[in-house]
Amino acid sequence: MSEAEINVRLQPRAKRNAIVEERDGVVRVAVAAPPVDGKANAALIKLVAKRARVARGQVTVVRGERSRDKVVRVEGVEPAELRTALGL
């Protein structure tokens, strides 16, 4: 099965959920949810899953659960497909 990983810098408590930009191989993602009880991570997973057109269960935070800097794995898509889906 194919999978892709992306490095993410998460900005919680933003005005809206958006994939902001990519800089130096790190994708900046803004979510409206606060970084409390995993809400920001859940919002990140939901946004990435929606953009990549995969189920939420196929998107996981593999590193950085409690940090702004994270590694997110998306199963079922090739790395190039994921970059295109995220608009990178």
Nearest partner of 20 among 51, 42, 61, judged by Cα: 51
Give the residue numbers spanning the domain of 45. Answer: 3-85
CATH of residue 67's domain is: 3.30.1200.10
> Which whole number is the average pLDDT over 5-12?
97
- The number of domains in the chain is 1
Taking the CB of residue 10, how many other CB atoms lie within 10 A of it? 23
All residues at 6 or more sequence positions from 66 whose CB lies less than 8 Å from its CB, including other chains = none
Encoded amino acid at 84, one letter = T
Backbone angles phi, psi at 68, to 5 degrees: -70, -30
Question: Which tens digit of pLDDT belongs to each residue from 43-75?
Answer: 999 999 999 999 999 999 999 999 999 999 999
pLDDT at residue 88 tops 90:
no
